[in-house]
Amino acid sequence: MQLNIQNETSRLRAVILGTASSVGPMPKIEDAYDPKSIEHIKAGTYPIESDMIGEMDAVAKVFEKYNVRVYRPKVIENYNQIFARDIALVIEDQFITSNILPHREKEISAIQHVIDKIAPDKIQRASSKDIHFEGGDIMIHNDHIFIGTYKGKDYSECIVARTNLNGVEYIKSLFPNKTIKEFDLNKSMLDPKDNALHLDCCFQPVGKNKAIIHKEGFRNPDDYQFLVSLFGKDNLFHINRDEMYHMNSNIFSISEDIVISEKNFSRLNNWLRSLNITVEEVPYAEIAKQEGLLRCSTIPLIRDSN
């Protein structure tokens, strides 16, 4: 398989889509690792497997409609494999395996049948356990690579901080010719409305030159201003705290003019349509209760070159 990912929006040809089959029982509060999941565990509204399978099947049908080749992980019994983006990513023609939370390592073995299709010299894996990053924090935007991180002194105790500065440096070492910009994100284990779990929870490019953004997701105002300067303020769709909580920035682009979005994102979806972007609406509100949405569930493998 010849990988090719140059940005977030070129025409998609092949993708890994996670699976909600056999996700196992509702986790205990002490085993959850994001505040939104904890909120729903406490409220008794944590999503059930059959609903999440239905939501992911709806996405698979959209991919089928647009002739996208879809790979799925092998099912691990009683294990959550929805959020494939956490475990790996593709930049250019390189497949990069994430250094993730230790108890999630088995998720990588579940996509080994896909990895086996890739030339060994195109597979990258950080050797040091001090290098932390997850795919939701990393976006390629042509000549740029954007990386979400957390620069707080309490990084090691902050379970919602998934990408450290060692991770940023590792990506820089792989792509020395790219302009790489890290963004210091706001984190909270107490309130999901204040927690940008990954960069794609508060920002994502869409269309030809647009982006969705949540200004308050960034700890450093200069990071937000960098994106305003790069995209132009008129090209940014600003989402509020509630929209960030519902994961409005975590949609998924099949191409510059086709997007998969959650059906309840009315304001966002209307804006996208105003740009002549086709919006394929799917139900994804149950999966969103785990603080992840459409981008989190996918690993794009091949997009057309512009």
Per-residue pLDDT tens over the stretch 63-119: 999 999 999 999 999 999 999 999 999 999 999 998 766 667 789 999 999 999 999
How crowded is residue 199: how many other Cβ atoms within 10 Å of its Cβ? 27
Residue 210 lies in a domain: yes
Alpha-carbon distance of 135 to 98, in angstroms, equals 7
Q: In CATH, what number is assigned to the domain containing residue 84?
A: 3.75.10.10
Helix (H) or strand (E) holding 106: helix 106-109
* % residues pLDDT > 70 (the chain): 99
Per-residue pLDDT tens over the stretch 250-292: 999 999 999 999 999 999 999 999 999 999 999 999 999 999 9
Mean model confidence pLDDT for the chain:
96
Residue 120 lies in a domain: yes
Cα angle vertex 43, ends 291, 33, to 5°? 35
Residue 180 confidence (pLDDT) above 80: yes
Alpha-carbon distance of 197 to 160, in angstroms, equals 6
Residue 143 lies in a domain: yes
- Specify the number of domains making up the chain: 1
Full-model pTM: 0.96
pLDDT at 101: 65
| 93 closest CA partner among 168, 207, 14, 199 | 14
Torsion of CA 166, 170, 171, 175, to 10 degrees: 140
Alpha-carbon distance of 88 to 106, in angstroms, equals 12
Residue 1 lies in a domain: no
State mean pLDDT over 233-248: 97
Alpha-carbon distance of 233 to 231, in angstroms, equals 7
**Beta bridge pairs of residue 17:** 298
Residue 2 lies in a domain: no
Domain containing 151 equals 12-303
Residue 6 lies in a domain: no
Alpha-carbon distance of 268 to 187, in angstroms, equals 24
Per-residue pLDDT tens over the stretch 125-166: 998 889 999 999 999 999 999 999 999 999 988 989 999 999
Residue 155 lies in a domain: yes
Residue 7 lies in a domain: no
How crowded is residue 270: how many other Cβ atoms within 10 Å of its Cβ? 10
